[in-house]
Chain A
Amino acid sequence: MKDKNPKPATKSTGARNGAGVIIDFLKKSGVELVFGYPGGAVIPLYDALYDSGIRHILTRHEQAAIHAADGYARSTGRIGVVFATSGPGATNLVTGLANAHMDSVPLVAITGQVATTSLGSDSFQEADIYGISIPVTKYNYLVKDPRMLPKVLAEAFYLAGSGRPGPILVDVPKDIQTTVIDTPFPTKPVSIPGYIPRPPVDQKQVEAMVAALTMSRRPIVYLGGGATITGVAPEIIKIAESLDTAVATTLPAKGVFPDDHPLSLGLPGMHGTKYANLAINESDLILALGVRFDDRVVGDVRRFAPRAMVVHVDIDPAEIGKRLAPDIAVVGDLKTVLGLALKIVKPTEKSAWRKRIAQLKAEFPLFVPRSELEIKPQAVIKTLSDLTAGESIIVTDVGQHQMWAAQHYVSKKPRRFLSSGGLGTMGFGLPAAMGAQLALPGEKTVLITGDGSFQMNIQELATIREHNLPVKILILNNGCLGMVRQWQQFFFDHRHSESIFGFNPDFAKLAQVYGLSACRVKKPEEMDGAVRNLLAGDGPALLDVMVAREENVLPMIPPGMGQTDFYEEKG
């Protein structure tokens, strides 16, 4: 197309270019914070951002940008937004998309793409991010027609946050960003045929569920990420207390039910408490709320809760029967379902079960080892938990430290324990902690990480320093990929193939170079004071805790085994 007097695209009057449409849309939707990283294919987008008033956090890697958006979303329930350029910028988002997809985190990723005229010609920094991201997003778009952009954006935000939330990717070719678009934003609320974000709840099924729960003598609520997403903490407490129901909270639900409640069973599954798994084994009714019956929780499905009737409540009909066929299924939003249930629940005492739970908890407590020679990682978490009174936002990475945090940190509020559950992404922690701290500046954010995971996104120390985010970084430094080392010890006869680091930097010195206050602690008697110090300051800080190398996460049910097949450590 030849235009003798091309309009300067960025300085249009009423109509704006595609990039302007995106920014207008974000403003209109109340987005105040975006994470990202620029590049050739998004320069127009960044130009429109320049004086828009929207805050943008420039991370040091696109993966960190999307994990930060994820941390922002997990801690608030709002939609996280991330920008990246085409090609390598976009492919660097893939892990973050998969991570958010697995844990149902609402995100919108906007990527630049080569111009529509060059699409499919292997041009510079072209990657088929649309094709690549299909299996790791809830839905995705490649915008080829500028007139579609307003509608696509409206749909993307609607889809990300509604129903079972998830990440949406919108790939916007560079020429679409620079084309003047006068198509208005849709004024009607988005509706997509066949997409039912809030399936109608079948009252009969709710009645069946309540009847089963009331009749049950040994009921357990098994809580999943759906409980965090729908914010049903008050409802769960009512159900638990009025029906003497014990509550097992999986990783993404941690905090929905207070860990220090007498009816709390803590974490079930592979590294769950013995009492949670034993109680599930004895239970006659499992009320599974917003869960996937993940293999890390149920182990061998055929041996999961063998004496129990299973009631499964989930908003996603595709989860019903995916791994385990429930006796009663209720499809619907948890908040609605539990609201209906509470209207008809009649409080019933099950004092024998209450006693049994107390007895199991007393008999098989979680063990915090102590030593005078070396710092035990579990003891560090216990100290942190006591010092923060369970009130901090805890973010973890992936590995042993994550499981110890899940076991020993006493959480009391939902959305205050952020961890990569489904994908188990090392490197999630530091950027996610950044995102959470930016979302909730008034709250103390503590990252619990390992020396392996920390080095996967260590470059974000710069971002933390730049914005003076008071994130407290606690490294449980065992000099190895502890979780891998543990599996090798247990199941591969101590053959520690490539799981021990031959070198690690001095993380405290490194952090100091980045401008953080930091120190290292080795002696058990200095640990408590060091953790206090870490938490005390106003700015970003790091504590490198040298912990026992050969410590294992116990209890453990080996993969694929039954609920009570606890691993017995050989001498």
Chain B
Amino acid sequence: MKKLISILARNRPGVLSHVAGLITRRGYNVESIAAGPTEHPDITRITLVVAGDEHILEQVVRQFRKLIDVISVEVPSYGHALTGELALISISADSVIREEILNLATLLGLKVMDIQEDSLTLMAVGTAHTVDTAVVRFSAYSIKALARTGVVALPKPIPESG
């Protein structure tokens, strides 16, 4: 099971070291981690995607809360968060399949970032789901290189109907 963890932390030089160190030390499985500034210059938002059973996740959250720099930790369900991610996908594409790839890219709403003789680089932007789908679709072709930012999330202010 994958879960989103959204952390607000004091924007201190060592905050990422503390968060990353905790993850390795306690042996948690982190799929992605993305950190960046918030509307408040003193506060950083860190979004993690973590895999593991309910019990482990509960422990992860408690350990994060315990970090001195951490102000708050939320675990929004995917339905109750706005998520976003960006991926750059570089695909081998000779003239024979280029057309096919470009069509699929248009269909999925990807941007073409670069075209070389034998390859194409596309950018997927969207919800975590959109980017996942794009990566899965294009893995049928030969992906030369892939870079993902990791998911960023904003928990929705009003949970149920919001």
Question: Are the CB atoms of A317 and B65 closer together than 8 Å?
Answer: yes
Q: Among A133-141, A213-221, A524-532, which stretch is in contact with chain B?
A: A133-141
Does A424 sit at the interface, judged by CB under 8 A?
no
Per-position binary interface string of chain B over residues 1-43, scored 1 when its CB falls under 8 Å from any chain A CB and 0 otherwise: 0000000101001100110010001000000000000000000
B58 contacts partner chain A, Cβ-Cβ < 8 Å: yes
In the bound assembly, the distance between CA atoms of A192 and B43 in angstroms comes to 13
Interface residues on B, range: 20 to 34
Residues A322 and B18 in contact in the complex (CB < 8 Å), given A135-B25, A316-B66: no
Encoded as 1 (CB less than 8 Å from any A CB) or 0, chain B from 75 to 118 comes to 00000000000000000000000000000000000000000000
Closest Cβ neighbor of B24 among chain A residues: A135
Write the chain B residue with the least CB distance to A320.
Answer: B62
B10 touches A193 (CB 8 A): yes
With both chains docked as a complex, state the minimum distance between the C-beta of B97 and any C-beta of chain A, in angstroms: 47
Question: Which of A193, A194, A322 is most buried by chain B, counting CB atoms within 10 A of its CB?
Answer: A194
Task: State whether the Cβ of A159 lies closer than 8 Å to any Cβ in chain B.
Answer: yes
Is there a chain B Cβ closer than 8 Å to A417's Cβ? Answer: no
Q: Is the CB of A194 within 8 A of B14?
A: no
Q: In the bound complex, how far is the Cα of B25 from the Cα of A22, in angstroms?
A: 32
Considering only residues 42-63 of chain B, those with a C-beta below 8 Å from chain A are 55, 58-59, 62-63
**Could you tell me if B68 and A134 are in contact, using CB atoms closer than 8 angstroms?**
no
Cβ of B65 and Cβ of A318 under 8 Å apart?
yes
Chain B residues contacting A142 (CB-CB under 8 Å) are 13-14
Give residues 154-181 of A contacting B (CB, 8 Å).
159
Enumerate A318-356 residues with CB–CB distance to B below 8 Å: 318, 320-322, 325
Contact B21 A194 (CB under 8 A): no
Residues B59 and A321 in contact, CB atoms below 8 Å apart: yes
Question: A130 near B: Cβ within 8 Å?
Answer: yes
Contact of A318 among B18, B21, B63 (CB under 8 A): B63
Which of B10, B17, B63 sits near A134, CB closer than 8 Å?
A: B17
Closest residue of B by beta carbon distance from A192: B68
Question: Using an 8 Å CB-CB cutoff, how does the interface string of A175-198 with B read, 1 for contact, 0 for none?
Answer: 000000000000000001111000
Q: Are B55 and A321 in contact (CB-based, < 8 A)?
A: yes
Contacts of B62 in A (CB 8 A): 317-318, 320-322
Q: Kindly provide the distance from the CB of A203 to the nearest chain B CB, expressed in whole angstroms.
A: 22
Known contacts A134-B18, A135-B25, A318-B66; A194/B13 CB under 8 A: no
Q: How far apart are B54's CB and chain A's nearest CB, in angstroms?
A: 11
Task: Indicate if A571 sits at the interface (CB-CB under 8 A).
Answer: no
Please name all residues of chain A whose beta carbon is closer than 8 Å to the beta carbon of B21 when the two chains form the complex: 134-135
Min CB–CB distance B134 → chain A (angstroms): 36
B21 CB to closest chain A CB (Å) equals: 5
Question: Which B residues touch A138, using CB under 8 A?
Answer: 68
Distance in angstroms from A168 CB to nearest chain B CB is 9
Taking a contact as CB atoms closer than 8 A, the residue among B8, B58, B72 that contacts A321 in the complex is: B58
The answer to whether B68 and A195 have CB atoms under 8 Å apart is: yes
Indicate if A442 sits at the interface (CB-CB under 8 A).
no
- The reply to whether the CB of B70 lies closer than 8 angstroms to some CB of chain A is yes
Which B residues lie within 8 Å of A135 (CB)? Answer: 21, 25
Per-residue B-contact encoding for A106-148, CB less than 8 Å = 1, 0 else: 0000000000000000000000001100110011101010000
Residues of A contacting B17 in the complex (Cβ-Cβ under 8 angstroms): 131, 134
User: Given A317-B62, A321-B55, do A159 and B14 touch, yes or no (CB 8 Å)?
Assistant: no
Interface check B71, CB cutoff 8 A:
yes
Check if A322 sits within 8 Å of B59, measured CB to CB. yes
Q: Which B residues are in CB contact (< 8 Å) with A159?
A: 68
Alpha-carbon distance A130/B18, docked complex (angstroms): 11
Bound-state CA distance A223–B72 (Å) is 31
> Closest Cβ of chain B: how far from A363's Cβ, in Å?
39
Specify which chain A residues have a CB less than 8 angstroms from the CB of B71 in the assembled complex. 193-194
Residues of the B chain whose Cβ atoms lie less than 8 Å from the Cβ of A131: 17
Q: How far is the CB of A134 from chain B (nearest CB, A)?
A: 5
* CA–CA, A318 and B25, complex, Å: 15
- Least Cβ–Cβ distance between B162 and chain A, in angstroms: 24
When chains A and B are docked, how far (Å) is the Cα of A142 from the Cα of B18?
A: 13
**Which residues of A sit under 8 angstroms from B14, Cβ to Cβ?**
130, 134, 140, 142
Q: Determine the distance from Cα of A194 to Cα of B58 in the docked complex, in whole angstroms.
A: 18
B-chain residues with CB within 8 Å of residue A320 when the two chains form the complex = 62
A159 to B72, CA, bound (A): 18
Q: What's the least CB distance linking B126 to chain A, in Å?
A: 31
Residues of A within 8 A of B66 (CB): 316-318
CA distance A325 to B59 in the complex (A): 11
The distance from the CB of B64 to the nearest CB of chain A, in whole angstroms, is 9
Nearest-Cβ distance from residue A129 to partner chain B, whole angstroms: 12
Do B70 and A194 touch (CB < 8 A)?
A: yes
Residues of B within 8 A of A316 (CB): 66
For A321, the chain B residues whose CB sits under 8 A away are 55, 58-59, 62
Smallest Cβ distance from A465 to chain B, in angstroms? 40
The docked-state distance in angstroms from the alpha carbon of A322 to that of B65 is 14
A316 to B8, CA, bound (A): 20
Smallest CB separation, A313 vs chain B (Å): 16
A130-B14, A134-B17, A193-B10 given as contacts; is B59 within 8 A of A139 (CB)? no
The residue in chain B whose Cβ has the minimal distance to the Cβ of A317 is B62
Q: Which residue from chain B places its CB closest to the CB of A130 in the assembled complex?
A: B14
Residues 432-457 of chain A, each 1 if its beta carbon lies under 8 Å from chain B, else 0: 00000000000000000000000000
Interface-centre pick from B13, B17, B55, B68 (highest chain A CB count, 10 A) = B68
A139 to B68, CA, bound (A): 7
6 more CB-based (< 8 A) A-B contacts, given A134-B18, A194-B70, A320-B62:
A130-B14, A134-B14, A192-B10, A193-B10, A194-B65, A322-B59
Return 12 A-B CB contacts under 8 Å, by A number: A130-B14, A134-B17, A134-B21, A135-B21, A144-B13, A192-B68, A193-B10, A317-B66, A318-B63, A321-B58, A321-B59, A321-B62
A-B pairs, top 3 by smallest CB distance, nearest first, are A194-B71, A318-B62, A139-B68
